[in-house]
Amino acid sequence: MNSKNSKRIVLIGLLIIPVTMYLVSIAVSGVVNFRTLENLGPPSLNSDSTSFMNELGESWSPDSSSGKIVVLSFFFTTCPTICPAMNFHLKEAHDRLYGFKDLIFISCTVDPTTDTPEILYNYKRNLGVEESNKWSFITGDSDQLYSLANSYYLTALRDSKSAGGYAHSQSAVLIDWSGSLRSRITDQGNILGAYDLSEAYLIDQLVDDVRVLVKEHRKVKMRRK
């Protein structure tokens, strides 16, 4: 046997052994373990926080998203600081995840007096997602919007000391198809909770965890058939 054939046999062995060990472990355990996200349970939604409007003037409520994975965030169109970067990074996530039919993005304004459906529609168009049915921009009564944010442990309020007159979280939360908050566990063993949108590299965490939820949702739907 020449040296070339010997090296080929060794290489094949190195490739086969790990696969064989993996298949044996599956046969013994009978299951395949997938990474999942921590389930933080459904929020305590205020009963009044049920009806808002999207950029098309159509009614929207949290129940409208039932059966969908939701990326929820808060912003306002005249924000002079963090909002442009937040939504720029969210657009990257939106574009990377566009093929998942059971995923939607919901961005709620904290300044509904200014951000009418028409203003939100123009904002969506300028962001380059005018044709997308996967990203809705929501307005409505300010107190109801702030209550909605608080229900998901996000900040949204009028604040004369903040740039633009409003304060809000610069993070998004993940909501699963049953309305429960979901989150990864950090390497330190802590619940991440919300996904900071201020830095581009942190969008990778959001994208990865959405993909985890999509796989889990597919398994849930298959069991229901």
Q: Where are the domains of the chain?
A: 1-33, 38-224
Across the chain, mean pLDDT equals 84
Query: Architecture of domain 38-224 in CATH?
Result: 3-Layer(aba) Sandwich (3.40)
Tell me the pTM. 0.81
The pLDDT tens digits along the chain (225 residues) read 555 555 454 444 444 444 344 334 333 333 334 468 999 888 877 645 567 999 999 999 988 888 999 999 999 999 999 999 999 999 999 999 999 989 999 999 999 999 999 999 999 999 999 999 999 999 999 999 999 999 999 999 999 999 999 999 999 999 999 999 999 887 888 888 899 998 888 899 999 999 999 999 999 888 876
What are 110's two structure tokens? 């904290």
